[in-house]
Structure 1
Amino acid sequence: MKKLALFVTCIFLLSGCSLFADYYNADQLANEMNKLVDTSNGLIDKELKELGDKDDEIAAIAESLDPENLDQKKLDEVQAKITESKGINDRYKAEVQKIQKQFPDLKAKAAKLEDPKIKELADSFIADFSKANEAQIKLSDTTAEYLAIEEQLFKDIADKKEPALDKVEEITKKLEEVHNEFNQGIDKFNVSWEAFNKAATGNKVEAK
């Protein structure tokens, strides 16, 4: 009986150590994910806000233009702001692509988790995070299209050519649709991140 009791105790201790290690790995994985989430949120808060601000500035200048007496200085200012927007958008996409490269490593670490519930939540979150990240890349690509058409629009105005307003309308609609997809992806990502983080760390995601 003593041997049996000792055997049972050893099994309990071994399984307990395995479970502890699993929760430790989950916590470490959550910390790594949290850093990427913070980076992603920072890009959305900073780069996308800058793009929005530039777009507002361009719109304000456009509204002040007199079609009968075009101010070349204002047109040059618009082109300069579009160039700045392109730079911001390129920088944004490059940073988002850096995040995308981290997902294979996260998937490999999640595959080592032994607790089926935590593993399922980790896999679900990584999938949603990856999709949300892909939506950001798509948003950046569509923004690049928008800026190219906007740039041509003001060149046509400067050259007193008939601007291709149908293209402007088309790309504006497309950008709006992509932006809605992006927001939906972020919403889904937030739900799965909250669920995994709670299971892995025991804590709710802190609002920032």
Structure 2
Amino acid sequence: RCRGAMGAQASRPVAAVAVTVARNRLTAAVPRVVVGRGLATSIKGGDVKKRDVVRMDDGLWVVKSTRRVKPGKGPAYLQAELTALAGGVTKTRRLRMQESVELVDIDKALPYTFLFDSGDRVVLMDDGTFEQLEMPRDVLGLQHAFLTDGARVNVTALEGVPVGAELADNSVEATVAETGPNLKSTRASTSDGGKPATLGNGVVVSVPSHIMTGDVITVKVTADEV
């Protein structure tokens, strides 16, 4: 959800509104489980979900996506896209609904501070030890576009490898860099279908018709969507 706020170029009041924000296809592996020390519990293949960390084929894999498939003949199965924790190799695995799968717990999330980008990686500082950590940008997913100097990031890891990250404050302000004209009443809500708007960081969202270029909106951000 977002709420409109009057930007530097706007001279009119903007009421608080509910905004439907466009989904972005970019995703990141942010595990559901945030406590543990690499221990595993057994679950059914049909219960595996996106962001799980599973142990199979003598390795640890992060589940990027899942899709239930019901073929014309034979039983239904779960098709999972997996990324290796070590090396980043990806593969597709077909899981029977009732087969046993090892779900792995990961370490408790620890607080870090964002320092700077370094190519396709980000450099963070451990708030407790002040040691630096390099992490692939895609672990942050969409959140990377909203990073600012000194932003706090909670990082989860397994066997020392970062597998998930979330902004400590996932409600951020962003300026609308470009959007279409107001074609409807300023009292319009998301029921009017909205219109696309490009934020200053290049992310495209959907806003009510009365939101204009230069307005500031509050955006809720996760790794998978804005």
Q: Answer whether TM exceeds 0.5 for this pair.
A: no
Structure of greater Rg: 1
**Bigger helix fraction:** 1
**Bigger strand fraction:** 2
Question: TM-score by structure 1 length?
Answer: 0.23
Question: TM-score by structure 2 length?
Answer: 0.22
